[in-house]
Amino acid sequence: MAETLKKVLIIGYGNPGRLDDGLGPMFAEEMGKLQLEGVTVDSNYQLAVEDSAAIAEHDFVVFVDADVSGPEPFHFQRVVPKHHMSFSSHSISADALMAMAEDLLSSTADAYMLGIRGYEFNEFGEGISSHAEKNLHAALAFLKQALVDRNFAKYVNR
Amino acid sequence: MGATNKIIIEPVTRVEGHGKVSILLDENGQVTRARLHIVEFRGFERFIQGRPYWEVPVTVQRLCGICPVSHHLAAAKAMDVIVGADKLTPTAEKMRRLMHYGQTYQSHALHFFHLVSPDVLFGFDADPAIRNIIGVIKKFPELAVQGVMMRKFGQEIIKVTAGKKIHGTGAIPGGINKNLSIAERDSLLKDIDQQIEWSRGALEIAKNYTVENLGELADFGSFDSNHLSLIREDGAMDLYDGGIRMIDSEGNKVIDHFNYQNYSDIIAEEVKDWSYMKFPFIKDQGTDNGWYRVGPLARMNTADFIDTPEAELARQEFKAVTGGKPNNITMAYHWARMIEVLHSAEKIKELLLDEDLQGEDLVVKGERRSEGVGLIEAPRGTLFHHYKVNEDDQVTMCNLIVSTTSNNVPMNLAVEGVAKKYLSGTEITEGLLNRVEVAIRAYDPCLSCATHALGKMPLTVSVVDHNGQIVDKKST
């Protein structure tokens, strides 16, 4: 009997009205077009506590966000669940969200952060910079490949 | 004039975005003034200029990723005026209302369960290692789960009415672009009774907390004020539409059923050199007396009644605490907010059972106009959107007054009251720090700058000299 395909949740987040901050939602939009089996794609302006409910229904979570100062073109890291002493109510960090999913909803999902390097953030504006667009394409190619075997751990620190 | 020392607390945690609080001391170490500095990105009003008006309800959501639905609906209401849609079809108005109640429900529930509950459940002086959301998860996991599920329910309503989470397109000039399918309706109906039950429980917690601690809370960052909100023609609380009503601290109606298309006749905005935010006030009363509070507390005070049965009973209990007079207790915002949660849940059920939501008549248009104003009672309070549009359909002017701006003076007064009462010497104790935050948190302010990308925590600090000149400015 064939092994059941692991279920993956991809959450791209950021504000598309703030230039490169829109990298996450843009990534989600492109991934959504592929309609890959066992892959759920979601996007929002920021992470929120209710995302913990969806996380609890998946085996893996890949958060996709714009990165202000990380390595180019992207980095891929494990997200370790961790409660924070404080966070704002309507948004939450990925590690705190994973801790909430684990503690409240018994989630066993493994989580990863795909941070795509961006450059322009602090103005209103549509579209991403040309450098960010190159990084976006590199990140898309990377995750498409990683989704083939879904052994995300081996890609950490890419 | 004596020298003034300044104590700065930053950032303000557990409120949206980041702010900075300055407490000013005189030569004797006494608090003379406390100021809440909020970073507000004003560039949006320029950004929107030149864009076609029909894009605005979608584009404006980029203003803030925290309450995009409020901006979406306020902008759509302004554009209704531009396209001459003076009365929407029943399906369009009810779909928008459903979207709005869904948003109010999830926003209020999350604020209470995940942000306020540590103070309510553990008390201001509890060990800070416990008095946080982690402590709530450990000691009251069922409440934390309820907060998640109530938020999720509200977001599902937004998704089926606005179309999607980012750049929802549900509301369009003159109406709505979709109705509610039977399948969508039924998926929400199956959960609504549970949601109402949870709302009752949340209301009970907020009410009991306020009543049991009334003595302390009445003296905690509280002050007399005007209260402003929209009000329905018959005096009912209405979160979606109505005329402007403002009452004074004694309950006298200062403004009533005022047509908000003419809001600029009665409201002006003052600029102060120490704050990026403006300070709205009623022109007739001037800057010293014309400021007002908005949001759940104001709405409880301005309304003659609430048109859903359980929330109305709760409102009557709320009013009884102050003998029918306006409630000016800052911390009573939480009780008022939970009354609105129950009201929203009741309204959602009422709307889901209304066949108009499956109607096919979605859009109306009339005589084209060049100027339009849209107001809505956002979760945090009255939200103003004002636009002018030229003959080429391009926006030429945009002015926004967001609810946190209207609550600017009240939040500063609340912080000042707490600082005067609880600051001893010049040391910022944990107790003081949390009390300052508790006072601000009561207003559920949105301090967000929206850009949140990894590694970036937007915070700008400015040093202003006695001439009002910025002598230093740094961003994190």
Q: What is the pLDDT of residues B313-325, one digit of tens each?
A: 999 999 999 999 9
What pLDDT shows up at residue B463?
Answer: 31
Q: Which of A85, A67, A84, A68 is nearest to A76 (CA)?
A: A67
- Chain A residues whose beta carbon lies within 8 Å of the beta carbon of residue B141: 103-104
Q: What is the pLDDT of residues B223-255, one digit of tens each?
A: 999 999 999 999 999 999 999 999 999 999 999
Q: What is the pLDDT of residues B188-202, one digit of tens each?
A: 999 999 999 999 999
CATH number at residue A14: 3.40.50.1450
Distance of alpha carbon B38 from alpha carbon B449, whole angstroms: 10
Q: Is residue A158 part of a domain?
A: no
Q: Is residue A50 part of a domain?
A: yes
Contact B49, B393 (CB under 8 A): no
What pLDDT shows up at residue B47?
Answer: 79
Q: How confident is the model at residue A6 (pLDDT cuts 50, 70, 90)?
A: very high
- Chain A residues whose beta carbon lies within 8 Å of the beta carbon of residue B43: 123-124
Cβ neighbours of residue B153 under 8 Å, at least 6 residues apart?
A: B102, B105, B106, B188, B191, B195
- Chain B residues whose beta carbon lies within 8 Å of the beta carbon of residue A103: 137-138, 141
Q: How confident is the model at residue B472 (pLDDT cuts 50, 70, 90)?
A: very low
Domain extent at residue A92: 8-152
Inter-axis angle of helices B408-422 and B430-441, to 10 degrees? 160
Contact B328, B223 (CB under 8 A): yes
* Model confidence at B83: pLDDT above 80: yes
* Model confidence at B396: pLDDT above 70: yes
What pLDDT shows up at residue B35?
Answer: 80
Q: Which of B176, B181, B208 is nearest to B363 (CA)?
A: B176
> What's the domain count of chain A?
1
Q: b/e map of B62-95 (b: 16 or more CB within 10 Å)? A: bbbbbbbbbbbbbbbbbbbbbbebeebbebbbbb
What pLDDT shows up at residue B468?
Answer: 42
CA distances from B323 to B215, B251, B326 (A): 15, 11, 9
Distance of alpha carbon B369 from alpha carbon B78, whole angstroms: 11
Q: How confident is the model at residue B351 (pLDDT cuts 50, 70, 90)?
A: very high
Strand, helix or coil at B330? helix
Q: What is the pLDDT of residues B423-454, one digit of tens each?
A: 776 666 777 777 887 888 899 887 543 333 33
Q: Provide the mean pLDDT of chain B.
A: 86
Written as six digits, the tokens of A66 are: 């714009």
The amino acid occupying position B418 is: V
Q: Which of A132, A126, A103, A101 is nearest to A11 (CA)?
A: A101
ipTM surpasses cut 0.90: no
DSSP code, position B476: -
List the domain boundaries for chain B: 5-39+407-417+424-475, 223-328
Scanning B46-65 for CB atoms below 8 A from A yields 47, 59, 61-63, 65
- Chain B residues whose beta carbon lies within 8 Å of the beta carbon of residue A42: 165
What pLDDT shows up at residue A15?
Answer: 83
- Mind telling me how many Å the CA of A48 is from chain B's nearest CA? 9
Q: Which residue of chain A has the CA closest to B68?
A: A45
Q: Which residue of chain B has the CA closest to A20?
A: B453
Distance of alpha carbon B96 from alpha carbon B171, whole angstroms: 7
* Model confidence at B22: pLDDT above 90: no
What pLDDT shows up at residue B408?
Answer: 87
Asked if B107 is an interface residue toward chain A (Cβ–Cβ < 8 A), one would say yes
pTM of the predicted model as reported, rounded to 2 decimal places: 0.89
Read off the pLDDT of each residue in B86-115 and give the average, rounded to a whole number: 94
